[in-house]
């Protein structure tokens, strides 16, 4: 469901929102996500936080690295390139996460996992190299 959502959202972004300011677009998306998740948090979570260094570092990475950095990178890629190539890059997230988990936490890394990751990388490479050219959208400075 998540992959279908990000695929649809990326194609929609490329077609209809290419000229929207990235900061405004990000703010609208984050506010929309807040409207969905905040009621669920109040219903199902304790809302208690234990402020530790690990928590603050992880939160900082999630806010600045993932939320702001990754979203602005995604929007920039959508504006500059083919939407299908941008969406295909999403498939590299699980292999990258698995390799980082293996390096950082000693998670199991099997031959089957490496084979699957290799197939994924080849598939993404084929899509980004052999994709049909898309109609480009001019961006305003």
pLDDT given at position 138: 53
Domain hosting residue 13, numbered range? 2-130
Residue 13 CB burial class (10 angstroms; 0-12, 13-18, ≥19): buried
Residue 139 lies in a domain: no
Asked if residue 92 lies in contact with residue 120, where contact means CB atoms within 8 angstroms, the answer is yes
pLDDT given at position 76: 79
Residue 101 lies in a domain: yes
User: What pLDDT digit, counting tens, does each position of 17-39 carry?
Assistant: 878 888 888 888 889 989 999 99
pLDDT given at position 106: 85
Residue 90 lies in a domain: yes
Q: Is the sign of the CA dihedral 103, 76, 85, 26 positive or negative?
A: positive
Taking the CA of residue 61 as centre, how many other CA atoms within 13 Å lie in the half-sphere pointing to its CB?
6
pTM for the structure as a whole: 0.55
The count of structural domains within the chain is 1
Q: Which residues of the chain have pLDDT under 50?
A: 135, 137, 141
Residue 138 lies in a domain: no
Chain length of the chain:
141
Residue 50 lies in a domain: yes
pLDDT given at position 44: 95
User: What pLDDT digit, counting tens, does each position of 79-92 carry?
Assistant: 777 667 777 777 88
């Amino acid at each position: 469901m998540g992959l279908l959502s990000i695929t649809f959202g990326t194609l929609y972004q490329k077609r209809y929102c290419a000229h929207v300011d990235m900061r405004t677009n990000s703010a609208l998306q984050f506010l929309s996500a807040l409207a969905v998740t905040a009621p669920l948090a109040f219903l199902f979570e304790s809302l208690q936080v234990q402020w530790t260094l690990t928590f603050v570092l992880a939160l900082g990475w999630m806010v600045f690295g993932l939320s702001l950095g990754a979203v602005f990178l995604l929007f920039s890629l959508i504006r500059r390139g083919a939407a299908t190539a941008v969406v295909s890059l999403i498939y590299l997230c699980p292999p990258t996460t698995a390799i980082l988990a293996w390096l950082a936490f000693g998670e199991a890394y099997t031959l089957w996992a490496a084979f699957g990751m290799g197939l994924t990388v080849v598939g993404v490479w084929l899509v980004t190299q052999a994709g049909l050219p898309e109609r480009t959208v001019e961006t305003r400075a």
